[in-house]
């Protein structure tokens, strides 16, 4: 379960509400479950609430490891 | 889309697939216990990228699939009350009760509204003070805090006509039951968003007590394959442990604010899981302090008795004992158009996913 | 009588009396009757010099009736024109029946009818006959429209509707990104309230399709991908047939915002409605040429070859996913609903 989507906070409103955007689509979300949300931060949204912030540094580290691993592989010819 | 597209990178997927094939020697069975993982695995066709040494099983991670028929029957009974508006996630609309579904009741005139968020249900409650608005609370530890937040908000506002009918459950008792029932698994692919809320320590007992590794996985193809690679390495090194693959979203201590709210609004209770029976302290009931928002306590109704089709083996499928192809009803009688069991109705039930995606 | 912007439709507008007549004259004839002359008769009298007539009918009940990129009227005209075009016919004449809920603003009705007239003119079709009924509040949701359309089948096109010449190796082409219409409408529905720049792709495809028809002998099949989306067209195409389809997911054109809304609400774009997309199956030799013709048209600038017909996997649509995995594409069972899981 848990369809949750990473979205960027574009505006903080009153009453624990923010506006978050993913791929050009925006929606209001509740901030009741996280602390200190800031404009520009990425959060995971689930059923209209931000449930966690995305840790950009961890994301970069994971990507770095993955890309290094991919580079060490022999070339892959893409068919079609 | 940031944090989505890069985890669907074809080159990275290929690289992970090759690495898994290189490292995986022993035949292993890994179980995922999250409907979101079931859908991702099927939607992206990940099984076709894995070596034959690896078998992936779907466990009881679909909240719709494990909810009792009695819950749907009672929701239907609520919907037939004159002064009630039912608000629900779309997932529940087509789940079969004994003789009807919420979708059918809607067609017959029941005021049943699909919402994306409990925030929408609160809005409906404010707009209709003369009606009782019941939100059908379904989902695990990812969703329960969101519903908890809505109850807290209702409490702050004094919104007297907002209720939740809870069938929320927590994952660990089911994950433990799978192992203690003797189902053979070599590793758990743990639910990423549940873990974002709970943290990773809820899985400590699996390697410690049962020597079953547990990797907390994200939902994109790269996340799932990396998690499978991590589990394979644990097996090959004979070193089961809890690891977090989904580091960008999951911290070891989880989301403490969300957990606090969850524990304030809900209390643990014994609960019935379709296929697993009663599991101790596996369900979330609304706590006494907030009982005026508890539909079960505040609104009386009698529901139709449950009746399970004897041919339906959803229970075995939920435990990973059988695959949908082994069910005598699968595809012949039980189809998404005419679902017999919940596993077929839900988008992320094993049977629904197999029917829709499996080549 | 009709110059107050708050004027609404009432039951009397449907009674056949003076008020009905005025409505017909001041809204329908005023907009649809341009470039047409002669008395109003019970039936339109048409001159059609062919015995190969294509006829289609459709009803439009979309909610809400105004949406980003169009309205129910535009949908009605484009949908009917497209249904005729995709069998290889040149659309000529349309009929429109309106079922109006009392209380609808006359200005809203006028706006819709004007849009229809504009769209008909753009597509080169005439709206020649119609009907109006008014129903009590609650009996329909603001406005329902039924249309029928007649066109003349072009030469060497009789095989296109049934797809009887489809064979292994043929290429599958779509003229642009998928799911725009469905997501534009869904995102503004109550309870989902997603803000975006999404617009319906609602458009008449007849002129673009006409440019391809000189090669019609090698066009195997065409269909517009409306309700049920691209997936439904492809699944229906292979059902009970001795061939299958191989679909390349990363060749399917997609708009990033549509993707975003789909991810947010848990919708699969392959099953979401389009109103300006045609799926064509053509011979391999012709595929480059068709792509070129489409790309020169504003409605086809993002055209792409998205798959091919295969001798294996009979009756199935197999997808090579965007990450290189394999899975099946199956028929939709009910409408998609926003989900948490």
Specify the range with the lowest mean pLDDT, choosing from A41-50, C25-34, C321-330.
C25-34
Q: For B283-309, what is each residue's pLDDT tens digit? A: 999 999 999 999 999 999 999 999 888
B147 belongs to a structural domain = yes
Buried b (16+ CB within 10 A) or exposed e, B214-239: bbbbbbbbbbbbbbbbbbbbbbeeee
B126 belongs to a structural domain = yes
| Closest CB to C191 among B35, B93, B115 | B115
Rounded to whole angstroms, the Cα distance separating C75 from C59 reads: 10
Rounded to whole angstroms, the Cα distance separating B124 from B118 reads: 10
| Closest CB to C327 among B1, B115, B359 | B359
Over 80: is that where the pLDDT of C190 sits? Answer: no
Task: Tell me how close the Cα of B284 comes to any Cα of chain C, in angstroms.
Answer: 18
Neighbours of chain C (3+ CB pairs under 8 A): A, B
C chain contacts of residue A22, beta-carbon cutoff 8 Å: 260, 263-264
For chain C, say whether B146 makes contact (Cβ under 8 Å): no
Rounded to whole angstroms, the Cα distance separating C136 from C152 reads: 39
Rg of chain B over CA atoms, in angstroms? 21
Q: What φ, ψ does residue B74 adopt, rounded to 5°?
A: -70, -40
Q: What is the pLDDT of residue A1?
A: 44
C→B contacts (Cβ < 8 Å), by residue, are: 191-192, 250, 256, 259-260, 263, 265-266, 268, 313, 316, 318-328, 330, 333-334, 337-341
Residue C78 exposure: Cα atoms within 13 Å on the Cβ side: 27
For chain A, say whether B316 makes contact (Cβ under 8 Å): no
B chain contacts of residue C339, beta-carbon cutoff 8 Å: 89-91, 347
User: What is the residue-averaged pLDDT of chain B?
Assistant: 93
- Cross-strand partners of C105: C8
Longest dimension (CA), chain C: 66
Map out the domains of chain C with their CATH numbers: 11-153 (3.30.1330.10), 171-329 (3.90.650.10)
Over 50: is that where the pLDDT of C1 sits? Answer: no
Task: Tell me how close the Cα of A27 comes to any Cα of chain B, in angstroms.
Answer: 11
Burial of C317 (0-12, 13-18, 19+ CB in 10 A): buried
- The encoded tokens of residue B335 equal 């189809």
According to the CATH classification, is domain A5-71 in 2.30.30.140?
Answer: yes
Q: What is the pLDDT of residue C244?
A: 97
CA distances from C176 to A75, B316, C45, C254, C301 (A): 32, 44, 38, 8, 7
Q: For C277-332, what is each residue's pLDDT tens digit? A: 999 999 999 999 999 999 999 999 999 999 999 999 999 999 999 999 999 998 87
B100 belongs to a structural domain = yes
Q: For C105-138, what is each residue's pLDDT tens digit? A: 999 999 999 999 999 999 999 999 999 999 999 9
Q: What is the pLDDT of residue A80?
A: 34
B242 belongs to a structural domain = no
Percent of chain C with pLDDT over 70: 94
| Closest CB to C340 among A3, A21, A28 | A3
B228 belongs to a structural domain = no
Domain boundaries, chain A: 5-71
Confidence band for C334, pLDDT divided at 50, 70 and 90? low
DSSP character string of C82-131: HHHHTTTEEEEEEEEEEEEETT-BHHHHHHHHHHHHHHHHHHT-EEEEEE
Q: What is the ipTM of this complex?
A: 0.90
Return the H-helix or E-strand segment holding C58. Answer: strand C53-60
Q: What is the mean pLDDT of residues A1-20?
A: 88
Q: What is the pLDDT of residue C170?
A: 98
B124 belongs to a structural domain = yes
Contact (Cβ atoms closer than 8 angstroms) between residue C178 and residue C225 = yes
A chain contacts of residue C266, beta-carbon cutoff 8 Å: 3
Of the candidates C183, C233, C214, which has an alpha carbon nearest to the alpha carbon of residue C290? C214
Which residues of chain B register pLDDT less than 50?
A: none
What is the pairing mode between strands C278-282 and C66-67?
Answer: unpaired
Across the interface, whether the CB atoms of B90 and C318 are under 8 A apart is answered no
What's the predicted TM-score (pTM) here?
0.88
C chain contacts of residue A2, beta-carbon cutoff 8 Å: 340-341
B134 belongs to a structural domain = yes
Longest dimension (CA), chain B: 64
SS3 of chain B = CCCCHHHHCHHHHHHHHHHHHHHCCCCEEEEECCHHHHHHHHHCCHHHHCCCCEEEEECCCCHHHHCCHHHHHHHHHHHCCCCEEEEECHHHCCCCCCCCCHHHHHHCCCCEEECCCHHHHHHHHHHCCCCEEEEEECCCCCCHHHHHHHHHHHHHHCCCCEEEEECCECCHHHHHHHHHCCCCCCEEEEEHHHHHHHCCHHHCHHHHHHCCEEEEECCCHHHHHHHHHHHHHHHHCCCCCEEECCCCCCCCCCCHHHHHHHHHHEEEEEEEECCCEEEEEEEEEECHHHHHHEHHHHCCCCCCCCCCCCCCCHHHHHCCCCCHHHCCCECCCECCCCCCCHHHHCCCCHHHHHHHHCC
Instruction: Give the three-class secondary structure for C236.
Output: helix
CA distances from B143 to A5, A50, B65, B74 (A): 13, 11, 16, 21
Q: What is the mean pLDDT of residues A56-67?
A: 91
B286 belongs to a structural domain = yes
Across the interface, whether the CB atoms of A27 and C259 are under 8 A apart is answered no
**Number of domains chain B is built from:** 1
**B85: domain range?**
67-169+254-298
For chain C, say whether B330 makes contact (Cβ under 8 Å): no
Confidence band for A25, pLDDT divided at 50, 70 and 90? confident
Task: Tell me how close the Cα of C238 comes to any Cα of chain A, in angstroms.
Answer: 22
Confidence band for C39, pLDDT divided at 50, 70 and 90? low
Between these two residues, C300 and C12, which has the higher pLDDT value? Answer: C300
């Amino acid at each position: 379960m848990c369809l949750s989507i990473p979205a960027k906070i574009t505006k903080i409103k009153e009453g624990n509400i923010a506006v978050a955007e993913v791929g050009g689509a925006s929606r209001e979300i509740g901030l009741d479950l996280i602390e200190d949300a800031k404009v520009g931060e990425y959060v995971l949204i689930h059923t209209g609430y931000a449930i966690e912030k995305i840790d950009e540094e961890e994301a970069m580290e994971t990507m770095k490891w993955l890309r290094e691993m991919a580079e060490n592989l022999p070339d892959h010819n893409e068919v079609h | 889309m940031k944090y989505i597209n890069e985890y669907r990178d074809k080159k990275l997927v290929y690289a992970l697939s090759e690495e898994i094939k290189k490292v995986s020697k022993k035949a292993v069975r890994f179980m995922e216990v999250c409907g979101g993982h079931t859908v991702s695995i099927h939607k992206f066709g990940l099984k076709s990228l894995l070596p034959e040494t690896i078998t992936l099983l779907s466990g009881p991670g679909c909240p719709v699939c494990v909810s009792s028929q009695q819950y749907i029957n009672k929701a239907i009974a609520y919907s037939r009350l004159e002064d009630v508006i039912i608000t629900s996630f779309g997932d529940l609309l087509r789940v079969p009760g004994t003789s009807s579904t919420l979708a059918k009741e809607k067609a017959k005139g029941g005021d049943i509204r699909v919402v994306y968020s409990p925030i929408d249900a609160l809005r409906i409650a404010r707009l209709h003070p003369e009606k009782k608005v019941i939100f059908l609370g379904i989902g695990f530890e990812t969703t329960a805090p969101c519903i908890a937040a809505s109850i807290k908000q209702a409490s702050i506002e004094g919104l007297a006509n907002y209720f939740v009918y809870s069938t929320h459950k927590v994952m660990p008792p089911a994950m433990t039951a799978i192992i203690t029932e003797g189902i053979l698994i070599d590793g758990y692919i743990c639910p990423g968003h549940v873990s974002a809320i709970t943290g990773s320590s809820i899985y400590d007992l699996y390697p410690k007590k049962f020597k079953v590794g547990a990797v907390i996985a994200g939902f994109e193809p790269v996340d799932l394959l990396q998690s499978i690679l991590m589990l394979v390495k644990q097996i090959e090194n004979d070193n089961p442990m809890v690891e977090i693959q989904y580091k960008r979203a999951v911290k070891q201590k989880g989301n403490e604010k969300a957990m606090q709210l969850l524990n304030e609004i809900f209390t643990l209770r014994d609960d019935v899981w379709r296929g697993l029976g009663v599991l101790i302290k596996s369900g979330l009931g609304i706590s006494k302090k907030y009982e005026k928002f508890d539909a079960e306590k505040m609104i009386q109704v009698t529901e139709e008795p449950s009746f399970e089709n004897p041919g339906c083996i959803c229970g075995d499928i939920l435990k990973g004992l059988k695959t949908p192809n082994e069910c005598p009803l699968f595809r012949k009688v039980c189809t998404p158009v005419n679902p017999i069991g919940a596993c077929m109705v839900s988008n992320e039930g094993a049977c629904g996913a197999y029917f829709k995606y499996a080549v | 009588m009709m110059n107050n912007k708050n004027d609404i439709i009432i039951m009397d507008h449907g009674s056949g009396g003076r008020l009905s007549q005025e409505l017909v004259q001041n809204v329908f004839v005023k907009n649809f009757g341009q470039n047409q002359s002669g008395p109003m008769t019970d039936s339109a009298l048409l001159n059609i010099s062919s015995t190969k007539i294509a006829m289609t009918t459709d009803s439009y009940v979309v909610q809400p009736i105004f949406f980003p990129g169009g309205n129910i009227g535009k949908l009605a005209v484009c949908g009917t024109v497209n249904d005729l075009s995709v069998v290889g016919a040149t659309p000529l004449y349309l009929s429109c029946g309106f079922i109006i809920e009392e209380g609808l603003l006359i200005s809203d009705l006028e706006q819709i009818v004007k849009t229809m007239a504009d769209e008909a003119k753009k597509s080169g079709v005439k709206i020649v006959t119609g009907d109006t009924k008014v129903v009590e509040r609650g009996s329909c949701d603001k406005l329902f429209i039924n249309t029928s359309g007649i066109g003349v089948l072009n030469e060497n096109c009789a095989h296109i509707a049934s797809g009887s010449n489809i064979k292994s190796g043929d290429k599958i082409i779509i003229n642009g990104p998928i799911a725009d219409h469905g997501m534009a409408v869904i995102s503004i529905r109550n309870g989902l309230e997603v803000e975006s720049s999404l617009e319906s792709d609602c458009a008449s495809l007849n002129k673009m399709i006409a440019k391809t028809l000189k090669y019609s002998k090698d066009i195997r099949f065409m269909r517009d991908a409306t309700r049920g989306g691209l997936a439904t067209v492809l699944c229906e195409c292979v059902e009970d047939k001795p061939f299958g389809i191989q679909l390349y997911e990363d060749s399917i054109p997609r708009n990033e915002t549509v993707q975003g809304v789909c991810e947010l609400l848990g919708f699969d774009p392959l099953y979401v409605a389009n109103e300006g997309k045609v799926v064509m199956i053509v011979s391999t030799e012709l595929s480059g040429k068709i792509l070129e013709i489409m790309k020169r048209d504003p409605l086809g600038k993002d055209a792409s070859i998205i798959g091919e017909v295969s001798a294996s996997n009979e009756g199935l649509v197999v997808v090579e996913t965007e990450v290189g995995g394999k899975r099946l594409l199956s028929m939709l069972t009910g409408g998609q609903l926003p989900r948490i899981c």
